[in-house]
Amino acid sequence: MTDNVLTHTTVLLNEAVDELLQASAGADGAYVDATFGRGGHSRLILSRLSARGRLLAFDKDLEAIEEAGRIEDARFSIRHEGFSHLGELPAGSVDGVLMDLGISSPQIDSPERGFSFRFEGPLDMRMDTTRGQSVAEWLATAEVDQITEVVRDYGEERFAIQIAKALVARRQERGPITSTSDLAQLVAGTVKTREPGQNPATRTFQAFRIFINAELEELEQALEGCLRVLAPGGRLVVISFHSLEDRIVKQFMARHSKEVVDRRVPFAEPVKMRLKTHGRVRPSESEVLGNPRSRSAIMRMAERTEVPA
């Protein structure tokens, strides 16, 4: 957490750190905060590590890197990279990985970042503003079928094709959409029904953010990387905030927490499970009351088995 005007309340803070530090190495271990954000998890981890403990963080957001610079602790370091790069660490060198997949409140509440339909701002949505296309740049050339696929698959939006057609028609008539308010208004005019209390543009904004940052692909790469870098007895803790992320995490943990028999090879030994799952945790009623943005969070936990990758 920070003292900035735009603050962030870390979800499942104590629960996540408690679970992470149950790794066999305990307070002496080497840990990864795969999504530093505004550093809530990292600061608590550091407060509970011994002098021998180490913490490495990853983040693509320059504001997160700046926030991490305020931590004066020789046990801590951060990389300006997406967490898909954690698989590049030495095999078996990490005792625990924590992934908080939620977008931080300062990102949402900063109009210039373009993440929210609640504020007027440029239609950007990049986590790393130093590279890649913004949403506005992509929409300037994307075709109806491309936009439809993104909105349908990443936003689970049943009006995806209508939204895509409206976006392309608007581009042909008056030029491409470049602001958050223009996008929100166009979607609101296209989506005629929506769940009570949900803005019509919610799913579309989610879809474009996930797509432009390749969030699901990065998550899949990072999870696979964990199998390589986690030491036996190491912990994997993942907090997700929507069904697309949680489904990937759940299926990954399920797939690697059972023995697999290759039926194409007679008498072959089964491939031993590589993870032991430890269930899931949801925020308490009191946490949701204090921080409504935590209501959709699901934390899943697993332990690296003794079997080498």
Residue type, 242: H
The C-alpha atoms of residue 166 and residue 99 are separated, in whole angstroms, by: 36
DSSP E strands, the chain? 30-33, 54-58, 76-79, 94-100, 230-240, 275-281, 298-304
CA 215 to chain CA centroid, Å, is 7
- List of residues 6+ apart from 194 with CB closer than 8 A: 200, 202
pLDDT (0 to 100) of residue 4: 40
The C-alpha atoms of residue 208 and residue 134 are separated, in whole angstroms, by: 10
pLDDT (0 to 100) of residue 12: 95
Specify the residue for token string 């008056």.
174
Q: Are 215 and 102 in contact (CB under 8 A)?
A: no
pLDDT (0 to 100) of residue 263: 60
- List of residues 6+ apart from 54 with CB closer than 8 A: 29, 30, 31, 75, 76
pTM of the model: 0.89
pLDDT (0 to 100) of residue 265: 64
Crossing angle (nearest 10°) for helices 202-212 and 144-155: 100
* CB atoms inside a 10 Å sphere around CB 55: 24
- List of residues 6+ apart from 145 with CB closer than 8 A: 164
pLDDT (0 to 100) of residue 2: 34
SS3 271: strand
pLDDT (0 to 100) of residue 118: 83
pLDDT (0 to 100) of residue 3: 37
Token code pair at residue 23: 């790794």
* Nearest Cα residue to 102 out of 55, 61, 157, 153: 61
For 139, 227, 256, 262, the CA distances from 307, given in Å and listed in that order, are 47, 10, 11, 17
What is the CATH topology of the domain spanning 129-212?
Answer: DNA polymerase; domain 1 (1.10.150)
The C-alpha atoms of residue 62 and residue 138 are separated, in whole angstroms, by: 22
Specify the residue for token string 């349908």.
152
* CB atoms inside a 10 Å sphere around CB 268: 10
Choices 3.40.50.2300, 3.20.20.70, 3.90.230.10, 3.40.50.150: CATH for 13-105+215-304: 3.40.50.150
The C-alpha atoms of residue 266 and residue 280 are separated, in whole angstroms, by: 37
The C-alpha atoms of residue 11 and residue 41 are separated, in whole angstroms, by: 9
Domain boundaries, the chain: 13-105+215-304, 129-212
The C-alpha atoms of residue 36 and residue 60 are separated, in whole angstroms, by: 9
Per-residue pLDDT of the chain (309 residues), as tens digits, is: 333 434 568 899 999 999 999 999 999 999 999 999 999 999 999 999 999 999 999 999 999 999 999 999 999 999 999 999 999 999 999 999 999 998 877 777 787 887 888 889 999 999 999 999 999 999 999 999 999 999 999 999 999 999 999 999 999 999 999 999 999 999 999 997 777 778 899 999 999 999 999 999 999 999 999 999 999 999 999 999 999 999 999 999 999 998 766 566 666 666 677 999 999 999 999 999 999 889 999 999 999 997 544
The C-alpha atoms of residue 121 and residue 132 are separated, in whole angstroms, by: 18
Q: What are 94's strand-pairing partners?
A: 230
